[in-house]
Amino acid sequence: MPGATTADLYEVTMAMSYLREGMTAPATFDLFVRRLPADRGFLVAAGIEDVLDHLAGLHTTERDLADFAAALGHPPRDVAPLAGLSFTGEVRAVPEGTVVLPGEPLVEVTAPLPEAQLVESFVLNEISYQTSLASKAVRSVLAADGTPVVDFSLRRTHSTRAAFHAARVGRLTGFSATSNVEAAAAWDIPATGTMAHSYIEAFGPEERAFRAFAEAHPGPVTLLVDTYDTAGGVGTAARVLRSLDRPGSAIRIDSGDLAEEAVRARRILDSAGLADVRIVVSGGLDEYAVDELRRRRAPVDVFAVGTKVGVSADAPYLNSAYKLVEYDGRPVMKLSTKKVTAPGRKQVHRSEAGGDLVTLADEEPPGPGRPLLRTLMHEGRRVHPREDLADARRRCAAEVAALDPAARGIHSPEPPSCRFSPRLDALTAKVQQHIEDAYTK
């Protein structure tokens, strides 16, 4: 697992300076997303559980100190103030699977300033990356409209750790299975898989390959039919499956015009009396391709999505930020052009009528609504055990179902509204004026 040195160097230099100056009062940082990526009507929060695990176990070791000193080019005695540093603060966050909007905090970290600063990059990385993946994956589930979606992303993600996250957030957002054996075992996700074209090529004739595969794997099998000629492969698979009598079996098509090939395959299978044999399609799929296949009424029973979802190809990053909003009881803010932040500790209230209201943490909302930020860590310890993935999955399904249909659209969605309360607006104006007055004197 990553340790204390999973940090940008400037966090180390700032933490050392804070300690030297005695600036160890509580500091609050908000993590939020400034803007939605194109074609996104909402985001799904993910990565929070990994952040809590990291913070609960954070402790600078002798090796960490040596690495800090080497990175800084300083003698080891200069980094001695960082010895034994751990996270002793509080984390308020939305639970995983929660629908979130730009401008509202997903995570709020309050801790002695050096601690809260040192963890910035880890917290940002985990939340931003996993939220990006979850927000892409859930769109494939929406596009499939009840047809199962499975994760095939392991071979194309930007690392095996990234693939592990992709499988997990896929499950969180509604995927039915993953091909990633490690993730399946770790998260109790159903595993799925077929065969590669190399398997067919190794045997030569498709029928020989199909029968050998079936003999090695009793029960339902999925046969890859497009190695040479798709229609011919479907016919061969139909002949083999009829002779085997394997209920629950399937064929997979991985190339060509998937809609046309699926229609042709369905016709061949039905003519062979194999109406129960399912059709799995794969090959460059994401929500846009799935949506098109659905619009063309392709007879697909399972969508296997991989590369484009595993790397969130059309929106591979989030414009996220981790910003100081209060130090030692004093609300603070940033005034940089197009990067203005709102000061103070906050709460997000979601209305049954739709839309979110961001208020100050101690503020009663003007109307009915449920608070989204919960205390998940106190005094450096988790308040609750790590949440079961199944619970987060149920939460995500309920949150997405509650959205206005316009926000769930695959093309040109309309995001729900998110606004600030009058008290938060007033505090923002007050702090901004105070800063501007200080600069004009």
Q: What is the pLDDT along the chain (441 residues), one digit of tens a residue?
A: 679 999 999 999 999 999 999 999 999 999 999 999 999 999 999 999 999 999 999 999 999 999 999 999 999 999 999 999 999 999 999 999 999 999 999 999 999 999 999 999 999 999 999 999 999 999 999 999 999 999 999 999 999 999 999 999 999 999 999 999 999 999 999 999 999 999 999 999 999 999 999 999 999 999 999 999 999 999 999 999 999 989 999 999 999 999 999 999 999 999 999 999 999 999 999 999 999 999 999 999 999 999 999 999 999 999 999 999 999 999 999 998 888 899 999 999 998 777 899 999 999 887 788 999 999 999 999 999 999 999 999 999 999 999 999 999 999 999 999 999 999 999 999 999 999 988 876
**Type of residue found at 440:** T
Would you identify the CATH topology of the domain 145-310?
Answer: TIM Barrel (3.20.20)
Q: Are strands 330-331 and 149-151 parallel, antiparallel or unpaired?
A: unpaired
Give start-end residues of each CATH 3.20.140.10 domain in the chain: 9-133+315-440
What is the torsional sign of CA 258, 259, 260, 263? Answer: positive
> What is the rounded CA–CA span in Å between residue 187 and residue 171?
9
List all residues 6 or more positions away from 415 whose beta carbon is below 8 Å from its beta carbon: 36, 40, 41, 42, 101, 102, 407
**Type of residue found at 281:** V
Going through 113-156 in order, the beta strands assigned E by DSSP cover 149-151
DSSP one-letter string for 338-366:
T-----S-EEEEE-TTS-EEEEETTPPPS
**85's tokens:** 């540093």
Q: What is the pLDDT of residue 309?
A: 97
Short-list 133, 143, 97, CA closest to 285: 143
* Cα-to-chain-centroid distance, residue 99: 11
pTM tops 0.85: yes
> What is the rounded CA–CA span in Å between residue 4 and residue 226?
49
Q: Residue 226: how many CB atoms within 10 A of its CB?
A: 23
* Secondary-structure class of domain 9-133+315-440 per CATH: alpha beta
Q: What is the pLDDT of residue 441?
A: 67
Q: What is the pLDDT of residue 241?
A: 96
Is 214:243 a contact under the CB 8 Å cutoff?
Answer: no
Q: Residue 387: how many CB atoms within 10 A of its CB?
A: 17
Q: Residue 52: how many CB atoms within 10 A of its CB?
A: 23
Q: How many residues does the chain have?
A: 441
Output DSSP code: residue 147.
Answer: S
> What is the rounded CA–CA span in Å between residue 140 and residue 121?
29
Residue with tokens 């600063």, as numbered in its chain: 117
> What is the rounded CA–CA span in Å between residue 223 and residue 237?
7
Q: What is the pLDDT of residue 239?
A: 96
End-to-end CA distance of the chain, in Å?
49
Angstrom distances, CA of residue 220 to CA of 183, 217, 238, 251: 22, 8, 13, 11
- 424 φ/ψ angles, rounded to the nearest 5 degrees: -70, -40
Give start-end residues of each CATH 3.20.20.70 domain in the chain: 145-310
